[in-house]
């Protein structure tokens, strides 16, 4: 079996090596997923049997708020191309990566798999959210019309070594790590956007890589994957500060946007399939990520 991993050098894709068969991870230069003709030729040339679709335009609150159309257009184009090539070549058993941030802003908590379309997403990332939701819709339609089974994974907030650490577009944890690093280096305050009160479930990317390649996934449908434990942004910033040896002041800027306050998930479907899986704790994962960042920061996406 040949498995194509899109976004193979990114945060999650870099952690995926399939246990059976051949895993291929083309760079963006080798394969532009937004170009259907390229994607079709690649699948034909390498005789791809299934796709693990990790590629996406992603970003934090600032980037999503300012570029909603970009996030909508680029992700929708990629996702439709992936769905079309699965249909055209009857690629079964593919895995599509969604995100818990696309859930309804006013939905009942904790979020469940069937919560996805029960309301509008948060205004700060509606472009990204609707594009990702359509991936789930397409996945369901592929099964109903063509009998092509795929699995949609809905992970909580991911972080890890190969993250995007850019201050303008990174997610919360890589952004905080970079900010704390600069604050320590420049002897300034460690400034965190928002009140610090929002809660997030965080998962070390290596864990999800293991689940995708070695865990038990539903034959068809969606599955939330999360440790089932939330941490405030304040708590997370304090752990990062301690792990980085920062002794200065942490300042929370309440004038800046902070996204939805809470978005806990129900991981009972995941636990039914993988009852014994042990997640990396936030402290352990942050320690590994910070160690990697400090050692390699000159070559990372900053």
Give dist(CA 239, CA 237) in Å, integer.
5
Q: What is the pLDDT of residues 273-296, one digit of tens each?
A: 999 999 999 999 999 999 999 998
Residue 85 has pLDDT above 80, yes or no: yes
Residue 59 has pLDDT above 80, yes or no: no
Residues with catalytic roles: 128
Residue range 110-127: mean pLDDT, rounded: 92
Q: What are phi and psi of 42, to 5 degrees?
A: -65, -45
Q: What is the reported pLDDT for 220?
A: 92
22-24 β-sheet, strand order? 22-24, 2-6, 50-53, 94-97, 150-155, 221-225
Q: What is the reported pLDDT for 122?
A: 86
Task: Decide which of 63 and 81 is more confident.
Answer: 81
Domains recognised in the chain with CATH numbers: 2-159+202-229+262-280 (3.40.50.720)
- Specify the pTM: 0.92
């Amino acid at each position: 079996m040949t498995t194509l991993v899109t976004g193979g050098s990114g945060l999650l894709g870099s952690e995926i090596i399939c246990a059976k068969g051949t895993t291929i991870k083309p760079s963006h230069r080798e394969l532009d997923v937004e170009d259907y003709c390229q994607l079709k030729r690649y699948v034909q040339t390498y005789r791809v049997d299934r796709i693990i679709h990790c590629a996406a335009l992603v970003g934090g609150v600032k980037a999503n708020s300012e570029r909603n159309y970009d996030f909508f257009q680029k992700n929708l184009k990629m996702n439709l191309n992936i769905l079309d090539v699965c249909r055209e070549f009857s690629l079964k058993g593919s895995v599509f990566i969604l995100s818990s941030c696309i859930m309804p802003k006013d939905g009942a908590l904790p979020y469940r798999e069937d919560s996805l379309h029960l309301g509008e997403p948060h205004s700060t990332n509606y472009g990204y959210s609707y594009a990702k939701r359509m991936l789930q819709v397409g996945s369901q339609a592929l099964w109903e019309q063509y009998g092509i089974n795929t699995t949609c994974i809905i992970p909580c907030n991911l972080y890890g070594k190969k993250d995007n650490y850019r201050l303008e577009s990174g997610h919360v944890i890589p952004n905080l790590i970079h900010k704390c690093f600069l604050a320590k280096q420049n002897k300034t305050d460690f400034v965190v956007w928002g009140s610090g009160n929002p809660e997030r479930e965080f998962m070390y990317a290596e864990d999800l890589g293991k689940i995708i390649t070695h865990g038990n996934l539903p034959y068809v449908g969606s599955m939330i994957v999360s440790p089932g434990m939330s941490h405030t942004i304040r708590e997370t910033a304090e752990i990062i500060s301690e792990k980085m040896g920062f002794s200065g002041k942490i300042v929370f800027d309440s004038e800046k946007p902070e996204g939805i306050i809470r978005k806990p998930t129900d991981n009972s479907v995941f636990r039914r399939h993988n009852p014994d899986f042990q997640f990396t704790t936030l402290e352990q994962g942050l320690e590994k990520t910070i160690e990697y960042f400090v050692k390699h920061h000159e070559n990372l996406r900053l």
